[in-house]
Amino acid sequence: MSKILIGRYVPGNSLVYKMDPRGKLLVTILFIFIIFLANNWVTYAIITIFSFLAVAATKLKAKVFWDGVKPLIWLILFTSVLQLFFTTGGQIYWNWIIFTISSYGITNAIYIFIRFTLIILISTVMTVTTMPLEIADAMEWILTPLKYVKVPIDKIALVMSIALRFVPTLFDETLKIMNAQRSRGADFNNGGLIKRAKAITPLLVPLFINSLETAVDLSTAMESRGYRDGANRTRYRILKWSKYDLYELAYFIILVLLLLVFRTK
């Protein structure tokens, strides 16, 4: 029952869900670069609006995105505060030993804050609307060129997909063994570091043994089902581009163009 939301994928069917994971992954990566094109209030406003529209297009609750930002909020604030105190230039408002608050500092802090938050938001848009498996497929596609230098991308992809498939199983198993050992008087919550490290053996050994058993069973099943090394396998699940990916591309290009036009040269 432990539905720990890995990759925090949230089921839905808005238009973002219909986009190809390859496009989403690529755009997300490019976004991290193009955000540096913004260098004044207008461009930051543009990219913020575009990002929030993307968030809105998922049709998911704001809480989903807040959950994405929340764990990193202190890091974002810390980085912003550093900018605030250590940037000099423009008008100086306050100065104490090495700390300065200047007009540049204030704008930089705000810029950094926006930049960070938007990157997280856009990554969250991808991870909540794309199943981990699809992300793995997209990664496989991006890595395809490595095939030509004899990297076994197919096998790596199969391993990734099986690993992802067993994550929830492993969580359930962990919870079950923890409960069983708790019933036998094991204590995972109290005591010092050494005591806790010791307490984890009754959890790790069974998990390890069970995983080995699973691996043996799985390989037996795979072999029985005709899996063999070096055979030419076909693919059932393939990714397909659709018109939604064109929309995505157009949206992205418009954003880049606007940024290029309005940025301070």
Chain residues that interact with other proteins, rule: CB under 8 A: 1, 3, 10, 133, 161-162, 164-165, 168-169, 172-173, 176-177, 179-187, 189-190, 201-202, 205-206, 209-210, 213-214, 217-218, 220-228, 231-238
Chain center to CA of 205: 30
Between 184 and 265, CB nearer to other proteins: 184
CB of 61 to other proteins, least distance (A): 9
CB of 78 to other proteins, least distance (A): 29
Chain center to CA of 63: 17
Between 136 and 258, CB nearer to other proteins: 136
Between 10 and 34, CB nearer to other proteins: 10
CB of 107 to other proteins, least distance (A): 39
Tally the C-alpha atoms within 13 A of residue 260's C-alpha that lie toward its C-beta: 6
Collapsed DSSP state (helix, strand, coil) of residue 192: coil
Between 193 and 231, CB nearer to other proteins: 231
The number of beta carbons lying within 10 Å of the beta carbon of residue 264 is 9
| Helix residue ranges, H only, 148-226 | 153-183, 193-199, 201-224
- Strand pairing partners for 94? 101
CB of 28 to other proteins, least distance (A): 21
Structure tokens at 64: 């989903």
CB of 202 to other proteins, least distance (A): 5
Residue from 35, 23, 12 nearest 259 by CA: 35
Is there a contact between 30 and 142 (Cβ–Cβ < 8 Å)? no
Between 95 and 196, CB nearer to other proteins: 196
Between 172 and 244, CB nearer to other proteins: 172
CB of 254 to other proteins, least distance (A): 33
Residue for token pair 């408002």: 93
Residues 171-201 as b/e (b if ≥16 CB within 10 A, e otherwise) read eebbeebbeebeeeebeeeeeeeeeeeebee
